[in-house]
Every structure is written in C-alpha cells, then in structure tokens.
Amino acid sequence: MSSWISALPILAALAVVTFGPGLLILLAAGARSRLAALACAPSLTFALLGSAGVIFEAVGVRWHLPTVIAWMLAWALLVVAGRWSILALRGRRLTLHTWTRVPLDPSGVPEGWSGGGAPGEPTGSVPALAGPRWLPATALLTTWLAMLAPVLPGSGPTVPIQSADSIYHYNQAWLIELTGNASMLNGNAGMFGMDGTSSFYPMVWHEIATLVSLGWDDVVPVTNTMILLVPLVYLVGVLYLVRVVLEEIRGAAWVALGACAFIPIFPMRLLMDTAVWPYALALAGCPAVAAWAVAQVRRCRWLWTRRRRLRAATSVLAIVPAAGGLLLTHPAALVIIGWPLAALAWTGLLLAAWRLSRSEDRHDRLLAAALVAVAVAVVLVVVAVVTLPGPLQTHFGRRPTRTWTHAWKKVVSALVLFYGGGGWTMRATQVAMGAACLAGAAVAMVRHRHRGVVVAWVACLPLIVSAMAPVPVLSALTGVFYNNPHRIKAMTAAPAVLLVTLALTSLAPVVDRVRRRGLRLRSDMLVPWRLAGPVQRFTETLPLPARAGAVLLLAGTLATAPALRHDVVGAFSPYNGHQRLVASPHELDMMRRLALLLPDDAYVVGDPVAGTAMLPFMADVRPVWMFAGQAESDADGLYLRAHLRDLHEDPHVCGILREHGIRYFYEDSSQFFNGVWLATLRPGLYDVDTSTGFRLLDAGGTARVWEITLCDTGA
C-alpha cells in the first residue's frame, strides 16, 4: 500500500487535468455555484479533449501537452471574449471584480434567480447541504478514501492489471505516446494487425493519461492512478445531484454519500473486476450532468415566466457541451443519461394528457389527445431506431442467446443490483439496498414528491432484465452495453442512491421523537471517559444526518470489502489457472528485461493474450497484435496466426516475416483464457519447432523470446 504514496503527484496531476480545463471554461462563462462548477467541470473537460483529438489529427497537429494547453486557453479566451462582448452590448461591462457576481437590477438590488442549482446561479443555502462550512469537503474526501481503502493493499501503481480490456487501454495510451494521434476515429490504427486497420473508439480516458504521462514507462502508473480518481468524479456528481433533486431534505447529501457504500457495483467493483474504464469514467460524470440538465430546465422555466425567452433557450442549450463530453467519453452515455430523462419526460407527457382529458373544455381534451399521439410517436421512433437496418445496428445488433430460465432470479438480480462474490455480507448488503430502494419509492409516492426519481429508477430495471432475458426492442437496446447486465446495474446506482437517501431520511422524525424521550445513548457509554468531552463536542457540531451517513459508510465499506478485495487480487495478481491471468510474475520480469535487450525497432510475433500484447507498455516493444481482436482485412496477419508453425516448410511464412521486418517470436504455452484454449484460436502460434533457425534471447516462467534466424537472406 505504501507504493501508492509515490503516486500522489500523479494523482494531483490527473485531478488538475480532469477538473481544471472544464472549471476554467465554467468560470470564464460566469459560473457562480462552486459545487455545480466543480461537479460539471469533468464533462466539459471531456468535451474539450475528445474534440481536440479529432481536430488535431485532421489538421496534422501532434497530441501532446503544449498543444492541448494552447487549445484549452484558446477556448477559455473565446468564452471570455464572447461573454464580455454580449454583456457590453447590453450596457453591462464586466470586470474581474464583478465577473462571477450576481448582477444588480436598475434599483441596485441583486437580480433574482430560480434557486434550481444551475451553475450560473449562486449555490445558496439549501437544507440538503446543512452543516458546518468544513463538512462538504470533509465528507467528500472521507467517503472517497473509504472507497479506496479496500483497493490499496495488495495493489500498486506500477503493477499492470491483467485482462483483455485493461491491456487494450494500456496499449492505446502507449500508441498515442508513440504516434501523437488521439483521434477516436483512427487513433488505434495498428492495434489489430499489420495492415493499419483502425476502428472507432472513444479516447478521452487515454488522452487524460497521456497528458500526465512523461513517457512510455509512465503508462501503467498513470493509468492505475487514474482508476482512483474516477470515484471522486462520481461522488462530487452525487453531491450535486442531491443538492438539485433532494434540496429540501435536511442533510440529505451526507446520507447519500454514506449510501454510496451500500451500492458497491459502482464505481469500485466495475473498475476493478471488468476494467471497462472509459465506460466507468463516462458513468461517473453522469450524475452531475443529469443534475445540470434538471437545474437548467428549472432555470429555463423561471426565465420563461419572466419573458426572457432568449436566455431561457440558451440556458437549455448550455446542457449540450456537457452531455457531448460524456458522449465523447463513451457512446453509452447517450443511453445512460437519455434513457432515464426520456422516461421522465415521457411519463410527464402522459400525466399531463391524463389531467387535460378530465377537463370539460374541448380544447383541453384535444390537447390531451395530441400529447398521447406524441407519446406514441416517441415509442415508435425508438422501436424504429433500435430495430430497423442501418449503421446503428453495429451497436443494437449484438443479440446473444437469452432465455427466461430462472426468471425470478433475474428480476431479483435487477432489483438488488446483484454482483457475485463477497459472501453473505455482500448479499445482505444488496438485499438491504434493494429493500431501501423500495421503501424510498414508497415514500416518494406517498409524499407526492420526487416521483421523478422513482421513474428514473424503474426505467433502468427492465433494461437490466432485458440484458439477461429476451424482451422485444429492449434486449436490442442493451447492445449499447454489450448486453452486459452489470454495466446497466452500474447505471442504476445513482437513482438507487437517491431512493436509499429518501428512505433513510424519512426516519428523521422517528429519531427525533426517540431523542426527545430521553432514549439517546450517552457518549460516555461508548468511549473512554477521557475522550467523552471531545467526542460530545464533535457530535454536537456534526449534524445528525452526517453522523448517520458516517455509520452507513463504515457499515457498507466493511460489508463489501471482502468482495472488493477478491476483485483486487484477480486484477493485480491473478493466480495460476485464473481466467484473467496473462503473464506470471517471472514473465513480467522478463518483459522488463526486454526493454534493454531488444532493439528500438524490434517487431515481435506471438499470441497477444499469452503475453505479447503487454510488450508495448512493459518494454516499449511493438508486437504484431496489441489486442485479442484482429482485423479481417489483415491477410498476412491471419496467415501467420494459422501457419507460423509451418515456417520450416512454407516459404510464404518467411516471406511475410521479411516483408514486415518481424524478427522475434514470443513463445508461450497454451492456456485457458475466457473459456477457450488459446491454441484453438491461434493454432499457428503454438507448437513451433524452435530447435533450428531460432536463437533464445530470454525466458521467464513458461514464456520464451526467440530471435528468428531461419528467414535471414541466404540462410
């Protein structure tokens, strides 16, 4: 765990890169709410980085820190100039002193504001954030550190995480360092074989890593440290979401932070167990953008009632850059954000139609019929987009075989956001969380407040079930999530946090009655008498919801730690026979030696899943394949995959090796990986006769690295 101390400068640099550019743009635009600006800053950073990668490649600009800094400053100056010019035309000239202050009306009184929590409005004093001034930062950092506590032991910044996905992300960052191309359109050219084939893939995660990395040997430490920052982005967003949605519930923010520990599937388990890091980064930014969308719609309504129509329209358009940033981080963000909000708007249409249909006014009834027609049209459009042939079938066309076997388990799994492992404590936590969500939904329906949270939560549950069982249209829609129910469960975490918070805060009157009846436990019964005074003074300073949140955080962290520890072991030190094992410790040591042993232009052939794909970020050596996938257009690569072992008899093999400058062979034994033997997938890379025509360079574990001399000219 002490090895992470050396990564603190990297963590600080990653925080600056992730929050800094977006915060700069928001301040340039006059954002007054500090919480909103901090929460929404990452999504704007993602928008700037994702667009820069595409534009830089198109105009021939290399991706590295100086050019990106210039890009950020140019956008900040553009926003400053635009805002200053527009307000100057209206007769209001801004200065540094008045840049983020609430403007005064002609009578000298500060202008009114909607109070919805939009970034352009003051934070104000809301019951959800009630407490001492130091409490928000303290609660946020405490929750973040508690989430990280089970992860730090047994892991380290320099130990590569082993899985097909993690190897891809390490190599993508390495490739950007090498080529200077961070475009999501073709930045992965060369990862799938020798013909330079590329495919679309979001690059924001890798772009952030390369801006902090100082070279190829920093790829692993920076990427591993970036994993620790994702929960902080998520927690700041949850804090802002509670401030916007549950603003009138006293201390709701502190209960919500504690409740995050009771929903372990996101962010920590998804980060550790699956290595879907770009998806997790986009998902971490979703609570803040969802809160921003709700707040801006409220602000739009408020401006519209005051006949400030142009500002009302621009307030809604302000959501676009943030949502676009999440979309550039991972395309699934369109569904993560859009699906719950669309469900909310759709149910709002039906509710409005139902109310109008009860009117005796004929005009109202016609309007109700029109609203119903719009709702039906929306459903038909969604069905058409998901099912009809077209380019979107790249995502929606992933349709593995599903059945309704054990249907009740699949429904319960969706309700409790089930994720395997952890023993009875994890199962008890999941059941308690599911029960709390149901209780929170009941509270919202009884109070006739926050029913939108219930709609958002309920909208996610059918998607989870549809990833496990055949449901028309919805099962195709889950193709955006690669039909993985755990990804959709992670998407459900934010609304589940709100429902758990609703359920627990509804108990506040009961707790107050208990305290008034004198049944409160005295602190001197729980702590030594010497500490009773300080503890009592501290608890009197700390609001009751904050104390409840601390208890939730402690209980949830302890209950879910065993499962998370198991995930950490599988990620950082998989044992022999583990499905994620790619390279043993001895093999990793050999890779590090290859950085000094092989020439700079070395080109290595071998099974990517048997260790060869780890050579770029472990030894700065380029293999033929950097990922388990392979381009079907790479004829030479496909031939080697099937016939490399025939090089003694097949002259075409040597011809391919000479043509591409491949002089090194990475040999390893076939192993069982993700349910299949590697020799079955790539038979030509196994059972190669190395007794003649090969020179052994190094060995580690079951792996050997050979120099191929058989194909030398004249041999």
In the chain, the domains with their CATH numbers are 1-102+135-286+520-567 (no CATH), 330-503 (no CATH), 585-708 (3.40.50)
Residue 519 pLDDT > 60, yes or no? Answer: no
Lowest-confidence region among 279-293, 416-430, 534-548? 534-548
Q: Using pLDDT thresholds of 50, 70 and 90, give the confidence band for residue 715.
A: very low
Q: What is the pLDDT of residues 441-495, one digit of tens each?
A: 999 999 888 999 999 999 999 999 998 998 888 888 888 888 889 999 999 999 9
Which of residues 89 and 225 earns the better pLDDT score? Answer: 225
Radius of gyration, CA atoms only, the chain = 28
Q: What is the pLDDT of residue 1?
A: 64
Specify the pTM. 0.93
Q: What is the pLDDT of residues 136-178, one digit of tens each?
A: 999 999 999 999 999 998 888 999 998 888 999 999 999 999 9
Q: What is the pLDDT of residues 323-340, one digit of tens each?
A: 999 999 999 898 898 899
The pair phi, psi for residue 664, each rounded to 5°, is -130, 145
Q: What is the pLDDT of residues 412-438, one digit of tens each?
A: 999 999 988 888 899 999 999 999 999
Check if the beta carbon of residue 679 is closer than 8 Å to that of residue 686: yes
Residue 69 pLDDT > 70, yes or no? Answer: yes
Residue 267 half-sphere exposure, CB side, CA atoms within 13 Å? 31
How far lies 353's CA from each of 215, 378, 385, 445, in Å? 60, 15, 25, 20
Give the tokens for residue 342: 């669309």
Q: What is the pLDDT of residue 572?
A: 87
Check if the beta carbon of residue 453 is closer than 8 Å to that of residue 438: no
Phi/psi-derived region of residue 473, left when phi > 0, alpha when psi is between -120 and 50, beta in every other case: left
What is the mean predicted confidence (pLDDT) over 678-688? 90
Residue type, 170: Y
The secondary structure of 484-506, three-state, reads CHHHHHHHCHHHHHHHHHHHHHC
Which of residues 672 and 515 earns the better pLDDT score? Answer: 672
The percent of the chain in helix, strand and coil, each rounded to the nearest 5, is 65, 5, 30
Residue 17 pLDDT > 70, yes or no? Answer: yes
Query: What is the chain's mean pLDDT, rounded?
Result: 88
Q: Using pLDDT thresholds of 50, 70 and 90, give the confidence band for residue 387.
A: confident
Percent of the chain predicted with pLDDT > 70? 92
Check if the beta carbon of residue 559 is closer than 8 Å to that of residue 425: yes
**How far is C-alpha 346 from the chain's CA centre?**
26
Phi/psi-derived region of residue 422, left when phi > 0, alpha when psi is between -120 and 50, beta in every other case: left
Number of other residues whose CB lies within 10 A of the CB of residue 553? 23
Q: What is the pLDDT of residue 714?
A: 46
Q: What is the pLDDT of residue 289?
A: 94
Q: Using pLDDT thresholds of 50, 70 and 90, give the confidence band for residue 516.
A: low
Strands 672-673 and 676-677: antiparallel
